[in-house]
Each structure stands twice: as structure tokens, then as C-alpha cells.
Amino acid sequence: MGFPIGEQHIWSIASMHIVTDKREKLTEEELISSGFIQSQSSNTRDCYSLFSREYSWSPGYKAEFAMSEEEDDTVSIKAIPASINILWEEEYDASQEETTSFMIPAGSTIREMNLYEKSVDGIYYCNEEIAALDLLVMGNEHSELVIRKDILNQYMEKTNAKLFWNIVGEKQYFLGGHNQKWQRREGYFVYESNEINGHIRIVDDI
């Protein structure tokens, strides 16, 4: 069992963050020197504590989209996740027979842009038009939160928010069985003025 010689796998995870400290500009160089990737989990965090359709200004939302005191002390760039994954597992009392899971935008995005849900959980509207949703809700194989660019731009202008993605990944080269060589890859991409700029770097080669 294992992988044949020469088989290669490449995977990456991208997660968006909202910079919470008020700054005029955010650069890729600042993100690299901050060590943000090393201090954060790359996976979107699962949330078990929010009720369905809970108000975005509630203490629950504020707690989920806040930096911990430990994080606040270890990184020079203060940022919160732009999304979390709502997760309701099967209940022992049979009130829910299947696990429910979908990603939602940050509470500040919902609040500032007056987003709201209608008949389907996880699909957000603005002025009766779809503004954001997890593609998993629509039958996509993987969970992926998308938001309309005009809504995102309005949010940035209204709040002076700065947005970036941190990227981590690996390239695996198999030598037969489970023996392999791999490269770790890291990078940052900054969203500003309708443009996305950044790079992915090879960090090590083991």
C-alpha cells in the first residue's frame, strides 16, 4: 500500500483575515515580517456556540471573531478571521439527525453591510439580492465562502478595513510506499483597490 514512485500531490489552504488595527496601508512585506502564519491556524475555525440566525452584534459573535489575549501579545498585526465554520453535530435527543456545517462571514461584515438570511441558513442577502454564501450550501463538494466584490469593497470603505489571505501548503513527491520528499509553501495576498497582490514562497525543502 502507498503511492507509486513519482506521484506528486500539491495542496494549499487560503484563509482571509480582517486587520483590526487602524492603519493607512498594509503590505506583503509587513505580513511576512510579522510571522502571522506561524502564530495562527490555517484552517477555518469551527464554531459550536452560536445559535442559528443569532444577531451579529451578540456577545457570541464578538467572542468568536476576537483575538485572544495570547494572540494579541504574539503578533504585530492584529487581525481576526473573515469567516468561521458553523458546526452543529447530531444531537443525543434526536432533535438533529445529521451534522450541519457551513461557513459564515465575520459578524462585523454582517452588521455593517446589513446582511440578512431568508429561508435557507447560510445564504446572506443585501437589498433582496444574494451577497454572500458558502458554496457547500448550494451543493459544492467543498466548503468555500464567497462574497460579492461590491459588498466587500463597500465594507472596506465604510470601516477602513484592510484584508489579506494567508496561504499555506505543501508539494509532496513520493518515492514509493509512504516515503516522500516535500516542500512547504507560505504566502500572503493583500486585497486593495480591486486588486489582489502577493506571492507564495518555498519555505523549506525536506
What is the SS3 assignment for 46?
strand
pLDDT, position 71: 56
Q: What is the model's pLDDT at position 70? A: 53
- Asked whether the CA dihedral 162, 15, 83, 81 is positive or negative, the reply is negative
Handedness of CA 116, 139, 146, 95 (dihedral sign): positive
pLDDT of residue 94: 45
| 28 CB-near residues (< 8 Å, 6+ apart) | 188, 189, 190, 197, 198, 199
pLDDT given at position 93: 43
38 phi and psi angles, rounded to 5 deg: -65, -25
CA angle 106, 111, 116 (to 5 degrees): 90
pLDDT for 92 equals: 46
Phi, psi angle pair for 154, to nearest 5°? -65, -40
Q: If you compute the radius of gyration of the chain from its CA atoms, what whole number of angstroms results? A: 19
Type of residue numbered 78: K
By three-state DSSP, how is residue 35 classified?
Answer: coil
Amino acid 98: pLDDT:
62
Spans in the chain with pLDDT lower than 70: 1, 41-43, 52, 67-74, 88-99, 205-206
| H-state helical runs in 138-187 | 149-159
Sheet of strand 79-81: strand arrangement: 79-81, 8-19, 162-176, 179-192, 195-205
Q: Are 34 and 76 in contact (CB under 8 A)?
A: yes
Phi-psi map region of 117: left, alpha, beta (phi>0 left; psi -120 to 50 alpha): beta
